[in-house]
Amino acid sequence: MIPERARIWKEGREGKGPVIYWMTRDQRAEENWALAFAQELALERRAPLAVVFALKEEFLGAAMRQYGFMLRGLEEVERTLRDKEIPFVLLQGDPGETVPDFVREHSASALVTDFSPLATKRAWMEKAEEGLDLPLREVDAHNVVPCWVASPKQEYAARTFRPKVRRLLPIFCEDPPAVQVHPHPWDLDAGVSWDRLRRDLRVDRSVPEVEWIKPGAAAARRALRRFLGEKLSRYDGDRNDPTLDGQSNLSPYLHFGQISAQRVALEAAKWEADPRSKAAFLEELVVRRELSDNFCFYNRGYDTFDAFPAWARKTLDEHRNDPREYLYDQEELEGAKTHDPLWNAAQREMVVRGKMHGYLRMYWAKKILEWTDSPEEALKIAIYLNDRYELDGRDPSGYVGIAWSIGGVHDRAWKEREIFGKVRYMSLRGARSKFDVGSYIERIESLD
C-alpha cells in the first residue's frame, strides 16, 4: 500500500497484542485499504486481528431506513470476515467510549480506523485517544486520492481541485489488495443476533426501509455491473433528466462504504463506452465527490452559513429582508405542501424512495432558500430533510450539495436578483425547458 494512504492520528507505545480495525465509514470486507493496512500490521506482528464496529443509536437524524440498510450490509461483512478467520465485533454505545474500552480490555497493540472528514467522527476519535496509549492510525479507504494528499487546503472550486487530483490519479488509482484468511486466529465471542438487533434498536421507525434497492457489497457489485452494461454509454445525455433512468444509483453504496469508489473508477475507466459519458461519470465519482470531502475536512463549519464563500454571505445578507411571495415552515415542506407541483413531487420521491434525482436536489434546495425566512433557516431545514429521508444522508456530498445550492459553495456569482442575491437561481420554467416535468410528476404520483 502507498504509505500516504495512512497517517498517524496519535502516537503511542507499540505493544504485542492484537490489532483492531475500527470500521466506521467503509463498511466492507473486501477492497478496503484500512482493513488491508490493519491486516498487514497484524501479519508483521504475528498477531490476531479483529474488526470492531460501534453502533450509536440516534445518529444525526438517521431513521430505520438508513439503519436497516447499514445493518444488513454489516451482516454481510460479518459473514465474509468469518470466512477469513477475522472476528467481527459489534459494540453498542458511544464509539468514543466503547472502542477504547474494547482496546484496553484486549490489550491491543494498534488501532486502525478509516477516514471521515465529518465532525462526528473527529469527535469520536478525539474522545477515544484520551484513554489510549497505543498508536491510532487513520487510513483513507474512501477516496481514490487520500484527502490530505489531494490538497493541503480547502479548494475554491472544482477547477482548482481537478488538476491536482488528475495529477495524482496515476499514482493512487491501483487495485486494492485482497484481504487474506488470517493465519493468527482469535477466538472472540463475537456473534451478532442481527434479527434481534434490528427488532430492539431504539430508532425512529416512522421512516421505513425501502425495497427497490438491496443493501450490501454483493448487491453493490451487481448494481455496478448493471450500470456499466446498461447506462454508462448514455450517462452524459441521460443523467440530468429525472424522467429517465440514467443515474448509477450507487450513492447509497458509496455512502456506506459497501463498495469501493476505487473499484468503481477502475471498472468504469476500462469499460468500452462513449468517452464523454465515461468522463462525465468519473468527474462526478472522483473529482466532485472528493471535492466534497476536501470541503468538509478543511472547513469545520461545513454545515453552517459561515462556511459559505465571502461573496455569497455578503449578497445573501444584503437580501435578507427581501419580500417572499411564499413562506413555508418545516412541517409544510416535509409534507410536500407547497404551491409548486415539481418541488412537491421531488420531496415525495425522497420521502417514499429514499433517493431524490440529483438534478432535482439542486432545484429542491434552492426553493427552500426562496421560501423560508433566512439562509440559516433554509440550510437547517434542507439538512434535516436530506438526512432524515435520503439513504445517502449525513454525507459530505449532501452537505456540500446543499451548500452549493443555498450558499454558492464551489460556484461563482451570477446575475443579482431578489432573495438569492448573486447565488445561482433555478426556476420551474427552466426545469420545463430541460425535461418533461409533467411526466416526472405523474410518475411520482404513481408511487402512492
Q: What CATH number does residue 273 fall under?
A: 1.25.40.80
What are the Cα distances from residue 20, in Å, to 50, 136, 232?
5, 10, 39
Asked if the structure places residue 190 within a domain, the reply is no
Residues 439 and 391 in one domain: yes
The whole domain housing 284 covers 143-176+217-299
Q: Which H, E and C letters describe 429-447, residue by residue?
A: HHHHHHCCHHHHHHHHHCC
335 lies in the same domain as 280 = no
269 shares its domain with 328: no
Number of domains in the chain: 3
C-alpha of 178 from chain center: 23
Domain identity same for 238 and 317: no
| Best CA proximity match to 363, nearest among 308, 322, 320, 404 | 404
- Is 120 part of a structural domain of the chain? yes
Which residues, 6+ apart, have CB-to-CB distance to 174 below 8 Å? 2, 262
Determine the angle formed by the axes of helices 119-130 and 95-105, rounding to 10 degrees: 40
The span from the CA of 342 to the CA of 434, in Å, is 13
Q: What is the pLDDT of residue 448?
A: 66
Give residue 423's pLDDT: 98
Residue 234 lies in a domain: yes
- pLDDT tens track, the chain, 448 positions: 899 999 999 998 888 899 999 999 999 999 999 999 999 999 999 999 999 999 988 777 789 999 999 999 999 999 999 999 999 999 999 999 999 999 999 999 999 999 999 999 999 999 999 989 899 999 999 999 999 999 999 999 999 999 999 999 999 999 988 999 999 999 887 789 999 999 999 999 999 999 999 999 999 999 999 999 999 999 999 999 999 999 999 999 999 999 999 999 999 999 999 999 999 999 999 999 999 999 999 999 999 999 999 999 999 999 999 999 999 999 999 999 999 999 999 999 999 999 999 999 999 999 999 999 999 999 999 999 999 999 999 999 999 999 999 999 999 999 999 999 999 999 999 999 999 999 999 999 998 6
- Select from 122, 142, 162 the last residue of a domain: 142
DSSP track, 251-284: HHHHHTTSS-HHHHHHHHHHS---HHHHHHHHII
Determine, yes or no, domain membership for 185: no
Residue 53's nearest CA partner among 114, 119, 127, 3 is 114
Task: Using the structure block, give the residue that is written with the C-alpha cell 490538497.
Answer: 151
The pTM of the full predicted model, rounded to 2 decimals, is: 0.97
292 part of a folded domain = yes
pLDDT of residue 15: 81
- Same domain, residue pair 282 and 344: no
Give the CATH number of the domain where residue 60 resides: 3.40.50.620
**pLDDT score for 59:** 76
Do 404 and 261 sit in the same domain of this protein?
Answer: no
On whether residue 231 sits in a domain, the answer given is yes
Does the residue 129 lie in any domain? yes
Q: Are both 83 and 166 inside the same structural domain?
A: no
Among residues 299, 325, 353, which one ends one of the domains? 299
Q: What's the CATH code of the domain at 329? A: 1.10.579.10
Does the residue 203 lie in any domain? Answer: no
Please state, in angstroms and rounded to a whole number, the distance separating the CA atoms of residues 436 and 316: 32
